[in-house]
Amino acid sequence: DGGITQSPKYLFRKEGQNVTLSCEQNLNHDAMYWYRQDPGQGLRLIYYSQIVNDFQKGDIAEGYSVSREKKESFPLTVTSAQKNPTAFYLCASSTTRLAGGKTQYFGPGTRLTVL
């Protein structure tokens, strides 16, 4: 089945540690995205990538880094510079064609807790 997978589902981090969240898609989509969701809030864009080996900062990129070495994969690293990383992280993908509105499809999310 085509879809987006994220791992792990739950992640616990000690202060000062970097952690990497995995996102893989087999929808053959060119674009991939990372969002952060805080309790009772909407989603905010961290980073996005429209093509392999290229990515752009979103609205809240500070303290995060990404890579896009393969079309299928877009891992997010939460660095120790991110002051308040506890949140729910959602990965999404879409085509870059305008037809269909570039609808973004989401993975199941990773809940990160800093201890």
CA-to-CA dists, residue 81 to 12, 64, 65, 69, angstroms:
16, 8, 11, 23
Least distance in angstroms from the C-beta of 22 to another protein: 16
Handedness of CA 28, 74, 4, 94 (dihedral sign): negative
Q: Which one among 21, 76, 87, 92 touches another protein, defined by CB under 8 A?
A: 92
Q: Which one among 76, 107, 112, 114 touches another protein, defined by CB under 8 A?
A: 107
| CA 7 – CA 4 distance, rounded (Å) | 10
Q: Contact positions toward another protein, by CB under 8 A?
A: 31, 33, 40-45, 48, 50, 58, 88, 90, 92, 94, 96, 98, 100-109, 111
